[in-house]
Amino acid sequence: MNWLHTTAFIIGYYLKRAHWLSLDVVAGAMLTHTIAQRLPDGHGKVSWASTLLVGISVFAIYVIDRLLDNLKTKVTTPRHRFHAKNKSVLLNVLAGLGVVGLLCLFWLPKGMFTIGLSLVVLVVGYLVVVFRTSLTDGMQLFKEPIVALIYTAGIWGTALSAAAVSPWESKILTVLFGIGAFQNLLLFSWFESFDVEEGYSLAIAWGTEAVSRVLTWLSILVCMAALGVLVATSYRYCVRAAITVSAMSLTMDYLKRRSSSVLAAERYRWLGDGIFFFTLWLV
């Protein structure tokens, strides 16, 4: 049975490092971008170039954000220590992915260029502000909604900008998935507030009780709006997408209610990031 333990250890070793690199988030973003391109009937044309660019962009944002964190503060979390230890390797990887991203531009649908360039400016501006903002500056209070906005615009905005038609269902689902992204970030902020009493997250600023209520109301809002799409749409694919975003939101609410069992070893991060794999049945 030793080989089983060895295999499990190796798998766990690489899964943990993939999680520290946010590769699960990257995969979830690429999946979500794919279904956004397939709306409203499930037969929309999927651009491999834009999907790959989304993955590269999300990976780059997360890695750069943590490397900047390490320059500003003392390295404390295993995730940040991993990035600090492998800084030179990660910078080389980012450089290589940058070249791949530039090559992808030759196959990128024309409708995505404008919003893509706007997002580049927005992301660079955000990273500059984050780096130059001290821990005593209230600007960092807005991290969760800003990241959710960038995430939604990058994944859904780019997909809809290249679509031949964008019916109301696509727009509503874009908003709902954007709310889901914000709910996800706010949930992580809520969990982190139990261990960190100082800082500038929304959970610390508003308080855990207030954020808990906000998270509950976000789940109710998403489910009610998704039910409206489910009832009113004539597209079966949109029905499936509405069910998916509801399931994602309800799962996050369930994680909040089971906080005592998912706080240990940051299980909430694995489970919270994993909800974006609910979109697999839509690909």
105: its two tokens: 């531009």
List the pLDDT tens digit at each of the 283 positions of the chain: 576 677 766 777 788 888 889 899 999 999 999 999 999 999 988 999 999 999 998 999 889 888 887 887 676 778 888 999 999 999 999 999 999 988 988 888 877 877 777 777 877 777 777 666 654 454 455 678 888 888 888 889 888 887 777 889 999 999 999 999 999 999 988 888 776 655 567 777 788 889 899 999 999 999 999 999 999 999 999 999 999 999 999 999 999 998 888 877 778 888 888 999 999 999 8
Q: Which domain, by its residues, includes 190?
A: 2-282
Q: What is the pLDDT of residue 261?
A: 85
Q: What's the CA gap between 114 and 103, in Å, rounded?
A: 17
Q: What's the CA gap between 253 and 23, in Å, rounded?
A: 23
CATH of the domain at 93: 1.10.600
What separation in angstroms does the CA of 128 have from each of 98, 173, 266?
Answer: 19, 31, 28
CB of 20 closer than 8 Å to CB of 272: no
Total of domains in the chain: 1
Q: What is the pLDDT of residues 198-256, one digit of tens each?
A: 556 777 778 888 989 999 999 999 999 999 999 999 999 999 999 999 999 999 999 99
Q: What is the pLDDT of residue 3?
A: 67
Q: What's the CA gap between 46 and 178, in Å, rounded?
A: 20
The letter for the amino acid at 89 is: V
Tally of CB atoms within 10 A around 260: 7
Q: What is the pLDDT of residue 134?
A: 54
pTM confidence score: 0.88
